[in-house]
Structures are given as C-alpha cells and as structure tokens.
C-alpha cells in the first residue's frame, strides 16, 4: 500500500492539474490499474459537457496561483460580495468601506438572507453554483449574497485553494460585521456552501461571536481536508444547524457524519451520472464530478417545498456497506429540513433533480445544466413518474407526522 501511494504521489507531482484525482487514488485500496486510471482521467476531462467546459488546461500553471495569508486586510479585492434582491438578477456589489452603501441597497430586512459560497474553480456566475443562484433569484424571496473568491481557487491551484479557505472566511466575517453595524445579525444568516465552500461556511465560526443560524453544506470537499482538525474544516458545532448533503461520498465529497443532520443521497454516488463505469471498471472523473455537482441541483429543487427529496433515517455512515431503505419518519432534505431533526438520513432517487423538463406540468421548472441525460426519453419519463409517486408517498407520511406531533 505504501509503495503504491508513493507511485501515485510521483504522478501527482507530474500532473498537478489532477491533484484531486491523485488524492483519491492515494486513498484507493487497490493498486493495480492506477496508471491506467490516471490516463483515463486525462482523457475524460476535456469532453465533459456538464462541468468541465471552463477547465482549460492551456491556461495557467501553478506559479500563477494566489495564496492569501490569514493576516490579510479585509475587504480584499479578490474576495467580493454581491447582493441580489428579488427576481431582477441585478448584482449590487457590497461595499463595506462605504457607510452609505447599506441604506442605499435593496436589502430587505424581512426576507431571509442566504450567503452562497462556491467551490474550487467557481465564481459568481460559474457552474455549478450558478444553478442555485438562479433558483434563488427565480423565487425572489431572499436576500442572496454571493461570495466570489474565484481568483483564489483557480485551476490548477487546489492546494492554495484549501489554504485560502480561512482568509476567505475571515473576510466574510468582516462583511458580516458591516451588516451587524446596520442591525442585521449573524444569527439571521444561512450559509450555503458547495464543496470547498462548505468548509468556508464552517470556518466563519472561527471569526464571529454569534453562530450562524444554519449551514447547508453541499457535498463538503474531501481531498486534503478530511484529516484536518475541526477548526480547519466544517464541523457540527459551526452553526445552530449544520445540514450536509453527501452526493459523492469518498471521492470529491466527505464520508461519514459531518453535520448535525446528514443526508446520504443514493449511497453517495448518483446513478444518472453513470456513463463510462462499464468501460473503465470504476467511476470516471467526470462521473464523480457529476455526482459531486448534483448536490447543487438537489438544493435548488428543495427550494420548492413540495418537490424536496425525502430522507429516511438510516445507519450513520455514507456510503454504507448495506444500503437499504429503513422505514421511519422521513424528513425533507434541504431548505425545509426541520431544525430539530438530527442524525443520518438516506435518500433514494433515480433521476436527475432540478432537471429542466422533469415536471410536465411546469416546463419552466428546473435547469438544463442539471440534466446529465436528456429528459425527453419516454422510458425515463415513466420511471420518473414512479419515482415521483414514491416521493409523494413519503411526503404524505411526513405531513401526517407534522399534523399529529407538531
């Protein structure tokens, strides 16, 4: 095992772009075929229409990577905050050095406030978090603050990106203190983070005195983070409620129990992302990335209450060795997860969430970028209806529970 890990490490040095993949392989129990897998990864990367269209390998090298220190001065020009209110989709950059900015902004003190934090290679309008940003704007009932720290997480700078998490969290806390001066308190904020962004949501707790009301962690990133101490990554004490989706457990996403409530979705690997499994004997990189990114689509879908996936109580690991449905009181996953629910819940769902065309009664529901397969195949549609019926049954159970006990 040790010699295998070294071999992988040598490879990793040679191909820094594939750091994430190499980290995965270093933890993979089997050694044979690792080189083939790496070659396969190289071939898989350029072609993926779903996510990797902006991963241009002819771009920067590691010497262009930006590394901030925790001693940085906030605000920092590489960490920007944009406010979106209502359905207009018009960005208003938050200017914490301007005492007048808040009063002039459209900030609605009666609406819930959500901070959306992207992950590696992300940005204000980049995949996959842009899907969720657009979903919040479509509903128009939130103050949405997007945190854009794109320059600090450019490819191939994963190591620097991980080291930039604390500086970004520090500048978010600085932005929160500006809101506090204007009588908007940290307890009122929900932080929704994808991948590395989940850990940023958790690290904010290192710099503020009141806890965030809620963190929604969309498949918190695993590579280089799983062995860190609690104050270096997301942990269950970082907010009053820490809600975690696991959609790619053990590869890009963390395994195990990370929040106050964890949802293990399809045992940590999404079936509709499978494309090349049979050819390469193990999931390819783009398949893993598709599973990882779909955490965002599950969250977007959950903003429409009756469409949220339902989770059922199950054993507290993700992935599990023996995955099966346990019967218990189901809870909705995402925006409408009740604050008192804790533990691990399993979600089973065969079809891509928030895929455009998923709902025949509302053709505008969803986003095309959440569809790894075309939604218009009759066979899929029938399957989808069955799957929806199952979800409806779980909702009925939940509503009965709510009526009887709450």
Site of interaction with ligand NAG (CB under 6 A): 56, 58-60, 64, 93, 95, 97-98, 154, 374, 376
- In this structure, are strands 343-347 and 310-313 parallel, antiparallel, or unpaired? antiparallel
Residue 347 backbone class (left: φ over 0; alpha: ψ -120 to 50; beta: rest): beta
Residue closest to 284 by CA, chosen among 11, 29, 39: 39
Nearer Cβ to ligand NAG (236/372): 372
393 contact partners, CB below 8 Å, separation of at least 6: none
Nearer Cβ to ligand NAG (348/369): 369
**Chain residue at closest Cβ approach to ligand NAG:** 59
Nearer Cβ to ligand NAG (331/355): 355
Nearest approach, Cβ of residue 77 and ligand NAG (Å) = 9
Nearer Cβ to ligand NAG (94/218): 94
**Omega within 30 of 0 (cis) for the link into 305:** no
Nearest approach, Cβ of residue 101 and ligand NAG (Å) = 7
* CB contact at 8 A, 187 and 211: yes
Nearer Cβ to ligand NAG (93/362): 93
Beta bridge partners of 193: 117, 217
Q: Residue 49, SS3?
A: coil
| Count of CA atoms in the C-beta half-sphere (13 A) of 68 | 25
Residue indicated by tokens 């040095």: 13
Nearest approach, Cβ of residue 98 and ligand NAG (Å) = 3
Distance CA 89, CA 58 (A): 32
Nearest approach, Cβ of residue 89 and ligand NAG (Å) = 20
Nearer Cβ to ligand NAG (154/233): 154
Nearer Cβ to ligand NAG (29/47): 47
Nearest approach, Cβ of residue 96 and ligand NAG (Å) = 8
Collect contacts of 31-34 with beta carbons under 8 A, ≥24 apart: 31/1, 31/4, 31/7, 33/281, 34/4, 34/7, 34/8
Nearest approach, Cβ of residue 175 and ligand NAG (Å) = 13
Nearest approach, Cβ of residue 4 and ligand NAG (Å) = 32
């Amino acid at each position: 095992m040790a010699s295998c890990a070294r071999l992988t490490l040598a490879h990793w040095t040679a191909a820094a772009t594939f750091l994430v993949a190499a980290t995965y392989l270093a933890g993979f129990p089997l050694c044979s075929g690792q080189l083939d897998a790496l070659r396969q990864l190289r071939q898989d990367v350029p072609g993926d229409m779903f996510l990797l269209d902006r991963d241009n390998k002819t771009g920067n090298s590691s010497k262009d990577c930006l590394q901030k220190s925790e001693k940085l001065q906030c605000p920092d020009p590489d960490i920007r905050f944009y406010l979106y209110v209502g359905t207009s989709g018009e960005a208003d950059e938050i200017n914490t050095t301007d005492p007048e900015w808040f009063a002039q902004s459209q900030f609605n003190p009666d609406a819930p406030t959500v901070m959306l934090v992207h992950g590696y290679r992300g940005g204000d309008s980049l995949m996959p978090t842009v899907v969720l940003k657009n979903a919040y704007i479509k509903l128009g009932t939130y103050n949405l603050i997007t945190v854009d720290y794109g320059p600090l997480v450019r490819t191939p700078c994963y190591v620097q990106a991980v080291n930039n998490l604390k500086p970004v969290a520090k500048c978010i806390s600085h932005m929160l203190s500006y809101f506090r001066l204007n009588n908007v308190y940290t307890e009122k904020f929900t932080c929704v983070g994808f991948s590395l962004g989940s850990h940023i949501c958790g690290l904010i707790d290192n710099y503020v005195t009141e806890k965030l009301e809620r963190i929604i962690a969309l498949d918190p990133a695993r590579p280089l983070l799983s062995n860190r101490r609690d104050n270096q990554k997301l942990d269950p004490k970082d907010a009053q409620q820490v809600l975690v989706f696991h959609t790619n457990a053990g590869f890009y996403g963390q395994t195990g129990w990370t929040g106050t409530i964890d949802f293990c979705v399809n045992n940590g690997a999404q079936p509709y992302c499978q494309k090349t499994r049979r050819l390469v004997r193990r999931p390819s990189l783009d398949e893993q990335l598709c599973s990882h990114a779909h955490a965002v689509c599950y969250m977007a879908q959950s903003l429409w209450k009756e469409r949220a996936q339902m989770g059922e109580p199950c054993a507290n690991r993700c992935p599990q060795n023996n995955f099966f449905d346990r019967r218990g009181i189901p809870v909705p996953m995402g925006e409408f997860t009740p604050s008192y629910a804790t533990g691990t819940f399993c979600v089973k769902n065969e079809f891509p969430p928030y895929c455009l065309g998923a709902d025949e009664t509302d053709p505008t529901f969803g986003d095309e970028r959440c569809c790894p397969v075309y939604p218009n195949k009759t066979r899929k549609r029938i399957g989808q209806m069955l799957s929806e019926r199952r979800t409806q049954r779980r909702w009925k159970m939940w509503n009965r529970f709510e009526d009887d006990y709450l």
